[in-house]
Structure 1
């Protein structure tokens, strides 16, 4: 065991024996790695990697999210390439399905396990950004010796979860770099950029899941939270992203019961047949720019009938 591995092992053991897991999310992850998954922090063996056949099956299962994530992986790589960063998309099992990296560093990335087919779940690799992100369902940054396994302490990694249109965990974005001099401000910027890429991918997946719906932002929440609603032609909300579901206290993956958009907007409503009819007429006239004949044609009624109905308003 190298000196660095021995020191890291001792630090992990001290934190675990000191009962810090109840006060620290990081140490709680170390505890899962040791107690739940039976891992040794000084383990040096190479990370588990799927066979080519297994990787093909894993990719087929995640084809939709891979397709939607691809342009955002490209953008991420353009931003972190100069920092010696590698960009990875992993599935919900922690397996790297797609990646972007500088060809000159491919050998180093592959040796580090930042390669397609490698399993980065906590069960396989202990505390790390991808695996811990999956375990906790939130964005995570694991810097160098915060990793559980000594073989990974040269990496700094930031991950963010991607949720599908029904609020279920679908994938993880990750940016990793082996540069030791990474400034805290730069690391924070990378983490924010990874989260933004994940939210953009979620938005793309949400739009694709509701192609005929009107997509609106959940009121009262910050734009960057990705809280989107899908609204049908009857002004009923028929879908919501995970962020919007959390605000409405609807569990991810649970059946989403349609509800009036006006109710979510907290708009006072006194609906009845007469007010509904007025709304239909008002919309038809607005679309026709006030042209009664054109509005009548769009409603399938005569001009005289529309004049009569308008006269009652």
Structure 2
């Protein structure tokens, strides 16, 4: 069966393709990271304590990958190679080398805890495998820093079952032939070991589900499968292995029933697993071609003891940090935020996220929830700026039947009660009315909430995460935010960088092209170098939210072909109407740039003047005004009412 006539993305690339990637990396090392190629010290090696933060999240996968690492080392040991497993931050979390050469390995930076990132080491194989998410060899002088130029390194990324980067497997040597082609076989062996670890992780992840090992030839199905498919209890495809993902096969079929993709019913698949696991002939319906499947039955789950009553606080469980690692990307500030978040999760501390509108505060909060012991419980998000002031009390605290005119017959649970046992995310906390600030402070102090119209409090246990694009300290100084609530909320404050400040913009662009391209066209969408250059130079006042919208629109306009400059909006080209400066997205207060010259000075200053100027700039279009200021329409209307700003369209009505 021919899954795909094009070359799989995992195949060994032509040398010119590697050269192009390496050259771009060298340019970034000079221009972006401003590294000195002649710097003589070896790569940094983390302390035992710092290394522990990188190893602990990887422990389960390290155990799974160890067998593949040992097999690889046995194949290349006599040629003088060392094997490293790094996390997605480029830190070596596992290591196998000949102990006779331990001092040499350590001096070369090929050691447990060594840091191989482009920001610190410039061009190197581990960094490129992480950044480009593809296998690559960096040989001798292709390394950016002079001390690394005697090394040859072949690195292959390893992916989780959902396609997210998980680790990098690397084989490096301090002595090797000058001819780069001598490393092609080594790269293939590293690729084979990486695939072994990837598949073992897939089987472990779905040990309680039916897993199909697919092959195009019956003779190979037991020894060399083309890929694997996991089915849920209803016979729906819940995941596919990375080998199929690289071939562009079955990606769009995740979530569909087995009968909709192959000419076999789920009952027949389960029967094949139950009766000896004989190869099952199947026809792949999208192409009408034949393949064969060996079905592994699900492992029985252990019989659980009778369930005890649910405790008020969730029981601690193993932490899954994949979500936080994925959202941190390769930006140093975001990686620091992720590490700090992991340290304070499940400690009962309120967490405050600060960042411009569109910088991903809610996504980061959701990732924190997924990485916490509360991840099986609700994540409830509330945008305090989007709820009218008259409704925010009932939204947060709930109400009993008959509490007010128009109340539901059976009352309603508030958002705080809905988040019991899980995480409550209060976005734009700076826009919460002061009366509600007082009630929220009482909830945090007493850990109970009283619905409107009720005298009976309800106990609540939530992990509180708040977010704002405003300066709460300044609001406290101006009497707009309660000081005691401020101290309650900012036990831990994490500052999310604006998109223009992130060091991994290129990676974010590629990731969005991949993710949204899969949704729109079932494959990643390419981008021309000219378009990429425009995106990297643009200031992105709307941050990640704006980038997503621009790329999704460009992909739609391109029809799935490579995104070119003509598919990008005028402002990205620098020819569109001027946008409000980023400072106005941080706070309405104090933003006085570009104030209308005809406006009296006393009126132009402060929040009212800024809002009035924005409304005039957008011809009194509230939707566009809200977008430019990084707030929602309800907040704009509320401020217009507060400051007696009336649209000219409504004068005289």
> One fold, TM greater than 0.5?
yes
Give the structure 2 partner of residue 259 of structure 1.
256
Greater share of helix: 1
Instruction: Look up the SS of the partner of 1:57 in the other structure.
Output: helix
CA-to-partner distance for each residue in 1:173-224, whole Å, 9 max, x for gaps? 0000111337656521111010011111111111111112222245669987
TM-score by length of 1: 0.72
Partner in structure 2 of residue 108 of structure 1? 104
Matched with 2:295 is none
* Structure 1 position 58 matched with structure 2 position 57: no
Q: Partners in 2 of 1:47 and 1:177 — Cα distance?
A: 15
Distance 2:199 2:158 in 1: 10
Aligned CA-pair RMSD: 3.1
Match of 1:154 in 2: 150
Taking a change above 3 Å as real, the CA distance of residues 195 and 218 of structure 1, as seen in their structure-2 partners, is: same
Q: Is 1:165 paired with 2:158?
A: no
> 1:198 — aligned with what?
194
Alignment gaps of 5+ in structure 2: 1-15, 276-653
Distance in 2 between residues matched to 1:198 and 1:43, nearest whole Å: 32
**Is residue 10 of structure 2 the alignment partner of residue 24 of structure 1?**
no
Shift of 1:227: 3.0
User: Residue in 2 aligned with 1:230?
Assistant: 230
The superposition leaves residues 146-185 of structure 1 with CA deviations (integer Å, 9 ceiling, x where unpaired) of 1111110100110101111221101010000111337656
1:212-257 residue CA offsets vs partner (Å, 9 max, x unmatched): 2222245669987863210234332111223434525759xxxx95
For residues 92 and 32 of structure 1, the distance between their equivalents in structure 2, rounded to whole angstroms, comes to: 19
| Secondary structure, aligned partner of 2:166 | strand
Q: CA 1:193–1:37 in 2, change beyond 3 Å: closer, same or farther?
A: same
Superposition deviation, residue 21 in structure 1: 11
Distance 1:234 1:249 in 2: 18
Aligned twin of 2:491: none
Q: 1:174 aligns with which of 170, 173, 176?
A: 170
Cα deviations across residues 28-53 of structure 1 (Å, max 9, x unaligned)?
A: 11112222222122221221221110
2:237 corresponds to 1:240 = no
Instruction: State how far apart, in whole Å, the 2-side matches of 1:165 and 1:140 are.
Output: 21
Looking at structure 1, the residues matched to 144 and 129 of structure 2 have their Cα atoms a distance apart, in angstroms, of 14
Identify if the C-alpha distance between structure 1 residues 22 and 210 changes in structure 2 by more than 3 Å, giving closer, same or farther: closer
**Separation in 2 of the partners of 1:66 and 1:121?**
20
For 1:36, the equivalent position in structure 2 comes to 32
Q: Distance in 2 between matches of 1:21 and 1:212?
A: 41
Q: Do the aligned partners of 1:168 and 1:242 also contact (CA within 8 Å) in 2? A: no
Over 3 Å counting, the alpha-carbon distance change for 1:114 and 1:151 in structure 2 is: same
- Larger Rg belongs to: 2
- Superposition map of 1:109-128 within 5 A: 109-128=105-124
* CA 21–217 in structure 1, closer or farther in 2 if over 3 Å, else same: closer
CA distance in 2, matches of 1:85, 1:198: 16
In 2, distance between residues paired with 1:100 and 1:22?
27
Query: Do the aligned partners of 1:229 and 1:240 also contact (CA within 8 Å) in 2?
Result: yes
Go from structure 1 to structure 2 and tell me whether the alpha carbon gap of 1:189 and 1:23 turns closer, same or farther (over 3 Å shift): closer
Quote the Cα distance in structure 2 between the aligned partners of 1:166 and 1:181: 38
- Alpha-carbon distance in 2 for matches of 1:22, 1:214: 39
SS at match of 2:85: strand
Q: TM-score, normalised by structure 2?
A: 0.36
Unpaired runs of 5+ in structure 1?
1-19, 288-313
User: Residue 101 and residue 22 in structure 1: after superposition, are their counterparts in 2 closer, same or farther (change >3 A)?
Assistant: closer
2:305 aligns with none
Q: How does 1:205-220 map to 2 (within 5 A)?
A: 205-217=201-213
* More relative contact order, 1 or 2 (CA 8 Å, 6+ apart): 1
SS in 2 for 1:127: coil
Seen in structure 2, the aligned counterparts of structure 1 residues 184 and 240 have a Cα distance that, compared at 3 Å, is same
Cα distance per residue 1:96-143 (max 9 Å; x no partner)? 111111111111110000001110011111111111110100001011
CA distance in 2, matches of 1:155, 1:135: 20
Q: Which residue of 2 aligns with 1:144?
A: 140
Distance across 1 between alignment mates of 2:147 and 2:258: 52
